[in-house]
């Protein structure tokens, strides 16, 4: 009888051990990303941060040395990727907890100050920034092509704030609040004309959708592709 009870206890302990191992099993990157979604908390927009501050870095105000110190001390920056020079800083920024959602960062420096910040491959939707800053002033939109087929791409522009948001690919119905941001440009002296080819123009922002109004006379295919990276 004692042996039988001992065996029952050992089986129960073994069960708890195995169950505990299962609970403590390391999560994959995708599982971590689900539990720790990206946060917009690092972006600040107000009278002090009129171009949007990112991680406390304010274009036109933050000095080059202050920006380098902020990035070196941040646990959201991949320290191995950080490269800081006299004219620029580059790094990988994790937009989510537990080193998830890596984004490319480029900070341009001039005369001892941060001149511009470029953030690429963001896990945020256009509506996240419209909620933060408000409606953009202008949009450039076109129907692009790739080996995978045609797709919509566009850039929205804030004239006073010197903010540009690039989206690629976009919805086949025109700008959509859930379109993912391909790149965010924060600049104190933006010249949007330098970003466009000859003949391309910005036009007034009409809101989401409105693809036929944005691209009058352009035949939109029934199938819009997502280009392969």
**Three-state DSSP class for residue 68:** helix
In whole angstroms, give the CA distance from residue 224 to residue 206. 22
Q: What's the angle, vertex CA 38, arms to CA 36 and CA 40, rounded to 5?
A: 135
Residue 225: predicted pLDDT: 58
Residue 9: predicted pLDDT: 43
Residue 17: predicted pLDDT: 41
Which helix (H) or strand (E) covers residue 29, if one does? helix 29-35
Q: What is the pLDDT along the chain (229 residues), one digit of tens a residue?
A: 544 454 444 443 333 343 444 444 555 555 655 677 898 999 999 999 999 999 999 999 999 999 999 999 999 999 999 999 999 999 999 999 888 999 999 999 999 999 999 999 999 999 999 999 999 999 999 998 887 788 899 999 999 999 999 998 888 889 999 999 999 999 877 666 666 667 778 999 999 999 999 999 988 877 665 554 4
Residue 21: predicted pLDDT: 40
Residue 23: predicted pLDDT: 45
Q: What's the angle, vertex CA 141, arms to CA 139 and CA 142, rounded to 5?
A: 170
Residue 135: predicted pLDDT: 97
Q: Map out the domains of the chain as residue ranges.
A: 31-114, 124-229
Residue 107: predicted pLDDT: 97
Residue 229: predicted pLDDT: 47
Residue 12: predicted pLDDT: 39
Residue 47: predicted pLDDT: 94
């Amino acid at each position: 009888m004692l042996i039988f009870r001992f065996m029952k206890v050992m089986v129960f302990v073994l069960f708890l051990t195995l169950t505990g191992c299962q609970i403590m099993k390391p999560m994959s990157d995708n599982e971590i990303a689900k539990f720790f979604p990206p946060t917009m908390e690092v972006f600040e927009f107000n009278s002090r941060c009129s171009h949007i501050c990112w991680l406390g870095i304010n274009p036109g105000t933050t000095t080059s040395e202050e920006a380098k110190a902020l990035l070196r001390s941040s646990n959201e920056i991949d320290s191995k990727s950080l490269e800081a020079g006299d004219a620029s800083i580059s790094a990988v920024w994790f937009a989510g907890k537990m080193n998830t959602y890596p984004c490319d960062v480029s900070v341009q420096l001039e005369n001892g100050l941060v001149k511009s910040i470029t953030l690429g491959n963001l896990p945020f939707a256009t509506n996240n920034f419209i909620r933060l800053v408000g409606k953009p002033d202008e949009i450039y939109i076109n129907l692009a092509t790739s080996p995978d087929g045609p797709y919509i791409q566009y850039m929205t522009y804030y004239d006073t704030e010197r903010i540009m948001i690039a989206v690629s690919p976009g919805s086949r119905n025109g700008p959509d609040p859930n379109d993912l941001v391909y790149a965010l440009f924060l600049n104190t002296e933006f010249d949007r004309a330098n970003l466009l080819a000859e003949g391309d123009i910005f036009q007034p922002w009409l809101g989401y959708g409105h693809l036929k109004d944005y691209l009058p006379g352009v035949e939109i295919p029934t199938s819009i592709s997502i280009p392969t990276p």
